Amino acid sequence: MKVTVFGIGYVGLVQAAVLAQVGHKVVCVDVDEKKVDNLNKGIIPIYEPGLVPLVKENVEQGRLVFTTSAEDGVKHGEILCVAVGTPADENGSADLKYVLTVAETIATYMQSYKVIINKSTVPVGTADKVKQKISAVLQDRSSDLSFDVVSNPEFLKEGDAVNDCKKPDRIIIGTDNEEVKELMRELYAPFNRNHDKIIFMDVRSAELTKYAANCMLATKISFMNEISNLAEIFGADIEMIRQGIGSDPRIGYQFIYPGCGYGGSCFPKDVQALIRSANEADYKPSILEAVERVNARQKTKLFEHVLEHFHGDVKGKQFAVWGLAFKPNTDDMREASSRVLIESLLKAGARVKAYDPKALDECQRIYGNNDNLLLMGTKEACLTGSEALIICTEWNQFRAPDFDVIGETLKSKVVIDGRNLFDPKMMKRRGYTYYAIGRGDSIRHQA
């Protein structure tokens, strides 16, 4: 099938590459000329495991093309996917200007029937706005061309997006048109062979399903962080609690790991957007508001531990930070807990040495050159001259470090662990003062 994807971000690029891999002919359109030029040269703008060879292979085979020409993109595709960003505006609601701009562009250039698939995460009712925009432009053109708008939200996890796209848990499609349903079945047939993963529903239900899924996962994280704070107060161990409740099949083990807060491009933005949509409908979403408050508070815990240990005085002191990305296997630092920590340390007059396997360039882009923020090439290089080690991201390479080297290199054997990577008893035996999240009768395990 001939497919055009508008927007070459995480969603658009991964979806386009995977669709091309199974044989569809895909054209990707983006307004960023530099990004398009780089992609045509094989330079991928994001880090995502498995994406680079997938893109290169399909570009070489001619199944995947990148362009800035929206007219060519509309002309090519019988199916047009909208995968542009919907950033949060000042009040937290999703900004639809890019989605509606693509809709206007499609209506301007279309010369035949089109199916417009909205893959961007958008508020309920956005498909209606897209229809209205396209219809208005077609009316101005005195055109009676027909089209359909489908809601087909993505459920990709950063760091595993390629696999999620190749082997989706479910394929949500919002449409009431039977002919469109058959087109969508044809599009996704290569990913729907083992058993039927397609779930058809009305458009508004599909739009809300995406928000509901992300908000449910964010709720589980904030709930566990709330319980971890209670564990600290009551002298319980959140790791034991996690195992105890996770063994209940109604709850399960996924997304019940406490830590220093969730981040990324999805959970924070989507929780805020759904809160805003609820408020606009005169409904108070109490649980969602609590989820957001708990997460914001949790992101301050690492700095609070620093202040506690150093008695509120960190001016002139240096700290080692392991992990900058909001999660492992990505270079994405949007809404990352590391940013709250680093900015708090710098504001308090401290110096930071930081390392991340993939996010150093992104950190450099965000903070620029700062004499008090040094980005190091190895995790060990962060330790020299640092008062304590602070862990923000649970990269695998951080899970079994050389504790002798850490202890010998740090000025003091202090580890503040925002991801509960280590056993508190083991850390105590090794002579460390260890701050974790909800572990045992005290957040501080001191030798």
Active site residues: 266
> What is the β-pairing status of strands 444-445 and 433-435?
antiparallel
Of 15, 104, 27, 32, residue with least CA distance to 62:
27
Identity of residue 192: N
Residue-by-residue DSSP string for 289-342: HHHHHHHHHHTTHHHHHHHHHTTT--TT-EEEEE--SSSTT----TT-HHHHHH
Instruction: Report the chain's terminal Cα–Cα distance, integer Å.
Output: 64
Coarse DSSP helix, strand, coil percentages of the chain, rounded to the nearest 5 percent: 45, 15, 40
User: Cα torsion for 51, 56, 62, 64, to the nearest 10°?
Assistant: 30
Alpha-carbon distances, residue 256 vs 97, 136, 242, 253, 357 (angstroms):
35, 47, 7, 6, 25
Euclidean distance between CA atoms 384 and 320, whole angstroms: 8
Could you tell me how many residues make up the chain?
447
